Amino acid sequence: MAKLQIRKLGDEALRKVCRPVEAITPRVHRLLDDMVETMRAANGCGLAAPQVGILRRIVVIEVEEGQVIELINPKIVAFSGEQEAEEGCLSVPNRWGTTKRPMHVTVRALDRNGKEIELTGSDLLARAFCHELDHLDGKLFIDIAKMAEDQ
Ligand code: ZN
């Protein structure tokens, strides 16, 4: 495994719409492994492929230690409720803002074996699903957040 460089605000990779993964190759497996290592080394709870300069629809999430969620071509298929909480991003260091997100979010995706999975998360996990999937469409939390310095 290898630690990858995290792209920061201003890098154009963060503003691109990513393409779906067409075939889950060993290269995709290596990328997933490297993304998990990179996320952990940066003490993050989620990382999307464009944050490491790869414009593909892949995210990793770990909001509970040891429970890594890997999502390939994820889509939100249901959401409900609302929450407002503070959010940050490894690509926007040292800045935090309050966002409104659904309280419960269901995503459908492929796992690393190409099997379709459906996961429902609440609270922090629901927020992570929204935040990371937004990255795949070139969106950042600062686009919708009330930033700490504005309050
Ligand atoms: Zn982020």
Q: How far is the CA of 141 from the centre of ligand 1 (A)?
A: 7
122 pLDDT band, cuts 50/70/90, is very high
pLDDT at 1 over 90: no
Q: Output b/e per residue, 103-119; b: 16+ Cβ within 10 A.
A: ebbbbebbeeeeeeeeb
Ligand 1 midpoint to CA 139 (Å) = 9
pLDDT at 151: 46
pLDDT of residue 150 exceeding 90, the answer is no
Q: Residues whose CB is under 5 A from ligand 1 (ion)?
A: 89
Is 65 designated active site? Answer: no
The structural domains of the chain, with segments of one domain joined by +, span 12-150
pLDDT tens, residue by residue, 68-99? 999 999 999 999 999 999 999 999 999 999 99
CATH class name, domain 12-150: alpha beta
* C-beta of residue 58 within 8 angstroms of C-beta of residue 46: no
pTM over 0.75? The answer is yes
Q: Yes or no: say if 107 and 129 are a contact pair by the CB < 8 Å rule.
A: yes
**Cα 104–chain centre separation:** 16
